[in-house]
Structure 1
Amino acid sequence: MNHPLDNPIWTALTTGSKKFSYGDEHIRLIDRDMGFFAGLPSYEPEHLESLWDVLEDGVKVILFTPNPLELDDRWIVHNDRKLLQMVWDNEVENLELSDSVQPLDPSHVSQMMALTDLMRPGPFLEKTILFGNYFGIFSRNKLISMAGARLNPAPFTEVSAVCTLKDYQGRGLSKKVMSAVINSLVAQESIPFLHLYPDNLSAFKLYSSLGFVSRAMLRVYSLEKT
């Protein structure tokens, strides 16, 4: 694995997101108030055994891997699916920004958690906002659409938590908040990328329209130590 995005969690937790993680040269874990990510330099059985040894019973972790894992029956597997990775094509510039989009800060966390709990774009915890670059759209002081950043496997930054309330979908709101996130990341000289399930065709269409291109097919696991 030579490209930073071949092993995005490990790369992030040893580069741009290292300040939010803990561990050593064999295993790194994200702050549990920010997410559930675990990164390993590679995913052979001996590295998975090391991960098992450091986790407490009942702890769940999320892994992004380049290939399927060989897991023994001690692990409870909550998720095991293909995961499409897309990278922003930096030749697409000057995305249209909307005055309706505003930056989100810690004062908005309760609304952000309520929206993500309802729409399920992926885990969003109390301190996930510390990853930064979150933007949203409000209607009558209610957050109805949002997106932001997550893992930072330098020089790349993951766009995440893209979601819009069901009653407001189909109005281009996700495109507006994503455009704000992309412009913010590019201004910081970071390259946006993201992940999605390959059968999510509506998301694929949206991301493609914003300049993202398919890069690799990974695998996502949610594992629990029994």
Structure 2
Amino acid sequence: MTAHPLDNPFFSALESLHAGIALRAGEVLRYPMDVAPFLGIPHPGVDLADPLADLVPQGDSVLLLGIAPTAVPHGWALERFADLAQMQCDRELPLIDGPGIVELGDADRADVLALTALVYPHYFRPRTMDLGRYFGIYVEGRLAAMIGERLGAPGFREMSAICTHPDFLGRGYARRLTAFLTNQTLQDGRQPFLHVAYANDRARMLYEQMGYRLRRDIPFLALRRG
């Protein structure tokens, strides 16, 4: 039986949608450090000794999603976080009224990095915007909220970096952006999906109310030098 691509989302994206920027060592793939701290492994039994030495510089660490290696090399530690909720949407969503939505580009990169550093600091890097399209809502010259495309595989696209500046909470901007990009993705013939921490009740409940449903709980891990 063929594994579902969303059961191993980092590896699936790195060998398909993002193969052009993937760094490879043996069977193991990763994003460049300035794009994302994500490592993709093809199966739990993969030998990580040489790939980690080649792909992860001193002082760096990497994250894994979906598949945990059965063994890690000497000098490395596998840290397990709480599972994430992997959710998907099968139907178009109502698009509430609000300010205009603009596609974000290089001219907006500083605004995007400032917003993500404030409210989404852990996984957004200087070149994360290279992974897909990003959209935002500007209010009085300030980037109030944003959303983007990150992971993906044939027929699937992840909604990511959904965030709102604290000064603009409660105005429905995240809902508006999520519906906008979800609908575009469905119209393009792809399945929208996203990941959210169970601890983030506010976001998870918003996605459920909008029409996203749980696909599975998915393991989330880090590999760090011991």
Instruction: Give the TM-score normalised by structure 2.
Output: 0.88
Q: What 5-or-longer segments of structure 1 have no aligned partner?
A: none
Change (3 A) 1:33 1:209: same
**Correspondence for 1:20:** 21
Q: How does 1:108-119 map to 2 (within 5 A)?
A: 108-119=108-119
DSSP-derived class of the 1:199 partner: coil
Instruction: Give the TM-score normalised by structure 1.
Output: 0.88
Change (3 A) 1:113 1:76: farther
Q: CA deviation at 1:95?
A: 3.9
Matched, 1:175 2:148: no
Q: CA deviation at 1:22?
A: 2.1
Q: CA deviation at 1:70?
A: 5.1
Q: Which moved more, 1:92-101 or 1:149-158?
A: 92-101
Q: How does 1:193-208 map to 2 (within 5 A)?
A: 193-208=193-208
State how far apart, in whole Å, the 1-side matches of 2:37 and 2:13 are.
Answer: 13
Q: CA deviation at 1:6?
A: 0.8
Q: CA deviation at 1:93?
A: 4.9
Q: CA deviation at 1:25?
A: 5.6
Q: CA deviation at 1:135?
A: 1.0
State how far apart, in whole Å, the 1-side matches of 2:177 and 2:213 are.
Answer: 19
1:11-55 Cα offsets, whole Å, 9 max, x none, are: 1111112122121560111122211111010123x4333443323
Residue type matched to 2:3 in 1? N
DSSP-derived class of the 2:63 partner: strand
1:134-181 Cα offsets, whole Å, 9 max, x none, are: 111112111111111101122111111011112211221101111222
**Correspondence for 1:32:** 33
Change (3 A) 1:112 1:13: same
Runs of 4+ with >6 A deviation: none
Q: CA deviation at 1:121?
A: 6.0
Residue type matched to 2:44 in 1? Y
Given that 1:134 and 1:147 are in contact with CA atoms closer than 8 Å, whether structure 2 keeps it comes out as yes
**Correspondence for 1:129:** 129
State how far apart, in whole Å, the 2-side matches of 1:64 and 1:205 are.
Answer: 22
**Correspondence for 1:100:** 100
Given that 2:44 and 2:69 are in contact with CA atoms closer than 8 Å, whether structure 1 keeps it comes out as no
Given that 1:9 and 1:153 are in contact with CA atoms closer than 8 Å, whether structure 2 keeps it comes out as no
DSSP-derived class of the 1:81 partner: coil
1:78-106 Cα offsets, whole Å, 9 max, x none, are: 6622111111123x456446452211111
**Correspondence for 2:12:** 11
Q: CA deviation at 1:117?
A: 0.5
Q: CA deviation at 1:122?
A: 4.3
**Correspondence for 2:81:** 80
Q: Which moved more, 1:187-196 or 1:107-116?
A: 187-196
DSSP-derived class of the 2:34 partner: coil
Matched, 1:211 2:220: no
Change (3 A) 1:25 1:78: closer
Change (3 A) 1:51 1:24: closer
Q: CA deviation at 1:111?
A: 0.7
1:107-147 Cα offsets, whole Å, 9 max, x none, are: 10111011010002642222211222211111211111111
State how far apart, in whole Å, the 2-side matches of 1:86 and 1:48 are.
Answer: 29
Change (3 A) 1:25 1:211: farther
Query: How many corresponding residue pairs?
Result: 224
Given that 2:65 and 2:219 are in contact with CA atoms closer than 8 Å, whether structure 1 keeps it comes out as yes
Task: Report % sequence identity.
Answer: 28
